[in-house]
Amino acid sequence: MHQAQQWPEAELVLDARARLGEGPVWDEIAGVLAWVDILAPAIHVYRPSDGSDLLIPLPSPVGAVALRERGGFVLALEDGFWLRDADGTLRFLAPVEADDPSIRMNDGGVDPAGRFYCGTMAYDERPGVAALYRLEPDGRVDRLFGGATISNGIDWSPDGRSCWYIDTPTLGVDRFDYDHETGALTNRRRVITIEPGQGSPDGLTVDAEGGVWVAFWGGWCVRRYLPDGTRDRVVQVPAAQVTSCAFGGELLDELYITTAWNGLSASDREAQPHAGGLFRTRPGVRGVRARRFGG
């Protein structure tokens, strides 16, 4: 039986106190980590070289941020897809369920062809109403499937042949076959099953070896799984609500981890003074460069 390796606890690098930190992505050109506080709502741009953190306010809750080929960001805000140009101009691109204020955009990621995939969830987390959407570089939006509850982490394998995906309440991580030409996701199957009581799977990232790193809400950790679903490594985090992770640094050998304090009681917040902070560890493997939206 494969025994998961325990790694040193992740270190705090920014005491951001984000209400709901999420979605980190490393910009290797600028040497910064972009991430979001969904409920602030805002983009954070953390520069590890000097420890600075630029806060960019947004007009509505933000589920995800990704880099663009043309500079700036593509964003999943409450009502759909937006662009933020390099000069700071914010532009609405395409609506997603904008007529239903009980639904908001949640986690997302860019595929190997430069498309942006992002899911939704209900504010009250009612089951079965969430979906996964795909934004093409030309601005077209396709609904890929519905029936989800909290559409969450999504990333692609290094060989570009498969896609990993989380619908949080199912307590598992699914794998799809991925078509580079069309962006289609097919042959969905459960590969990683989470035992109850270990926390709920939230965001994820895939490393250069194909390992899947999963952040656990309520689990105080990030865990690495091999492509066959075997648990391989565990990084403890001194905050219960671990939300997502991404590789960064000059060599892509640093794993940045976001957390949240939203929903914690006063006593829990006192016991977790750095909940909502940004953490980092060096987990012994490297990531891959962040893919950029082609629009």
> Per-domain residue ranges for the chain?
5-281
Q: Kindly report the average pLDDT of the chain as a whole number.
A: 96
The reported pLDDT for the residue numbered 3 is: 72
Q: Residue 8's pLDDT band (boundaries 50, 70, 90)? A: confident
Q: Residue 5's pLDDT band (boundaries 50, 70, 90)? A: confident
Query: Is 70 exceeded by the pLDDT of residue 2?
Result: no
Q: Tell me, what DSSP letter sits at residue 4?
A: P
Average confidence (pLDDT) over 5-31: 94
- State both tokens at 127: 């089951």
Catalytic residue among 53, 155, 202, 207: 202
- What is the distance between the alpha carbons of residues 215 and 221, in angstroms, rounded to a whole number? 6
Q: Residue 6's pLDDT band (boundaries 50, 70, 90)? A: confident
Is the bond leading into 169 cis (omega within 30 degrees of zero)? no
For a pLDDT cut of 90, what percent of the chain falls above it?
96
- What is the distance between the alpha carbons of residues 215 and 38, in angstroms, rounded to a whole number? 16
- What is the distance between the alpha carbons of residues 22 and 278, in angstroms, rounded to a whole number? 10
The reported pLDDT for the residue numbered 295 is: 56
What is 5-281's CATH number?
2.120.10.30
- Locate tokens 């304090």: which residue? 261
- State both tokens at 235: 């990084």
The reported pLDDT for the residue numbered 26 is: 98
Contact of 288 with 280, CB cutoff 8 Å: no
Specify burial of residue 89 (Cβ count, 10 A radius: 0-12, 13-18, 19+). exposed
pTM score > 0.75 for this model? yes
> Mind listing the pLDDT tens digit for each residue in 271-284?
999 999 999 999 99
> Mind listing the pLDDT tens digit for each residue in 98-136?
899 999 999 999 999 999 999 999 999 999 999 999 999
Neighbour count for residue 102 (Cβ, 10 Å) = 11
Q: Is 202 a catalytic residue?
A: yes
- State both tokens at 203: 């965001």
- What is the distance between the alpha carbons of residues 108 and 179, in angstroms, rounded to a whole number? 18
The reported pLDDT for the residue numbered 274 is: 97
